[in-house]
Amino acid sequence: MKSLAVLHASQLVTLEGPNRPRVGTEMRELAIIRDGGMLISDGKIRSVGRSDQIEKNASNAEIIDAEGRIVLPGFVDAHTHLVFAGNRLDDFERRARGESYEQIAKAGGGIWSTVEKTRAASDADLLKHAKMHADWFLKCGTTTVETKSGYGLTLEDELKILRVIRQLDEELPLEIVPTFLGAHAVPREMDADEYIKLVIEEMLPRIASGKLAEFCDVFCERGYFDIEQSRKILGAAKKLGFKLRGHVDQLSNSGGAKLMAELGASTADHLEKADNQGIAAMKSANVQPVLLPGSVYALGSSDYPRAREIIEAGLAVVIATDFNPGSSPTPSMPMILSLACTQMKMSPAETITASTINAAYSLNRGDRIGSLERGKLANFSIFDAEDYRELAYWFGIPQTHSVYIRGKCVSRSGGL
């Protein structure tokens, strides 16, 4: 494969730094090279520096002239629900009219409506829609996506979703990290104990033996899975070799953050209602918080997680879209950067760290992606902007110029 030279980035945002997630003031250090460039071969970054230096060693390389635009590592979206059927347009309209979650569920909406449609959909149908969603992520500059099952809630339907996730990863350039979220809700046809038994005794072993997921997740919340039930499911998953993530302390402070610390989870996600004890427990167990402002926004709430306190407590914050049909229908990481700055008072630099290198570490991939450093995969995006802060500042307009995965252009404004 021919080598590539990226030249003349107004800012090459490298995020070069220690080989670990960034904490505290490190989150503001982006290691920007002005008029920066990179030399790439075999899909990997060979050198990074000023354009004039890179150009000297690029005589045989194909040139990508960034023409004064910014170049960043591809976004790493560490929390999405990408595979589902249908949408929740009726819920959206009802919520706009001021109806409560209970009223919407009574009218046939809520998570259950997505479960029914997803169960009824064929593999081919799910794949077709998932490909459309995946393309949206690429168009927003995202090159790696974690995605969860959880709209099947039977053994066969959960396996179906995980197969679609695997196929998506094989057929598209977007890198997909699979997570099993069988414990997303208790299906209507079962009681909780019966379903937990099914998850632990049948689903988890099948998914482990088929290597269909790297992580196991639960929705730990009143009315879904309580602390004891979550501990049971995640404990069983851990024994089978899964790494752990969890939807915790979103609607109420149930001690979910503490549970994730106790279990040595990779991440605790949401945390809108987490208390100081939970945050301290996460810090001492090196659990990374994944904050999801898109769902707070889309639900019309103002209860954002306390990002400043969490950063100041020394945790390696991640931000993600939580892309899903019910509470966060956005694949756009730039939109999340905007919300993180305006609603959670993160600095623009902190939001870049949280959506690239810290997210990569939370998915166990910090050694391969998340920064533009020698030896890492050449996953990067070029945006129509001169200053990285423009990504969070101009909101609601696409700024993506082109997106590369392993040195190959996979998306370009105006088409490939």
Task: Name the site residues for Zn ion (rule: CB under 5 A).
Answer: 322
Q: How many CB atoms lie within 10 A of CB 289?
A: 30
* Least distance CB 16 / Zn ion (angstroms): 31
Of 322 and 373, the one with the shorter C-beta distance to Zn ion is 322
Q: Which of 321, 338 has the CB closer to Zn ion?
A: 321
Taking the complex as a whole, the smallest distance from the CB of residue 27 to Zn ion amounts, in Å, to 23
Q: Which residue is nearest to Zn ion (CB)?
A: 322
Question: DSSP states of 113-167 as a string?
Answer: HHHHHHHHS-HHHHHHHHHHHHHHHHHTTEEEEEEE--S--SHHHHHHHHHHHHH
* Nearest-approach distance from CB 247 to Zn ion, in angstroms: 5
- When the beta carbons of 221 and 350 are compared against Zn ion, the nearer one is 221
Residue (77 or 322) nearer to Zn ion, CB: 322
Nearer residue to Zn ion within complex by CB, 73 or 150? 150
Number of alpha helices (DSSP H) and beta strands (DSSP E) in the chain: 17, 17
Report the C-alpha gap between 8 and 103 in whole angstroms. Answer: 55
Residue 4 CB, shortest distance to Zn ion, in Å, is: 36
Task: Tell how strand 267-270 and strand 243-244 pair up.
Answer: unpaired
Q: How far is the CB of 118 from Zn ion (least distance, A)?
A: 15
Distance CA 118, CA 130 (A): 12
Q: What is the DSSP string of 241-301?
A: T-EE--EESSSS--SHHHHHHHTT-SEEEE-TT--HHHHHHHHHTTPEEEE-HHHHHHTT-
| Of residues 30 and 78, the one with the C-beta less far from Zn ion | 78
Nearer to Zn ion, 22 or 81 (CB): 81
Q: Residue 29 in contact with residue 17, Cβ under 8 Å?
A: yes
Q: How far is the CB of 214 from Zn ion (least distance, A)?
A: 16
Distance CA 293, CA 389 (A): 18
Give the shortest CB-324-to-Zn ion separation in angstroms: 6
Rg of the chain over Cα atoms, rounded to whole angstroms, equals 21
Cβ closer to Zn ion: 221 or 322? 322
Q: How far is the CB of 304 from Zn ion (least distance, A)?
A: 16
Question: Please, are residues 388 and 69 in contact by the beta-carbon 8 Å criterion?
Answer: no
Instruction: Output the CA–CA distances (angstroms, integers) from residue 268 to 25, 39, 134, 218, 387, in the order listed.
Output: 21, 37, 24, 10, 32
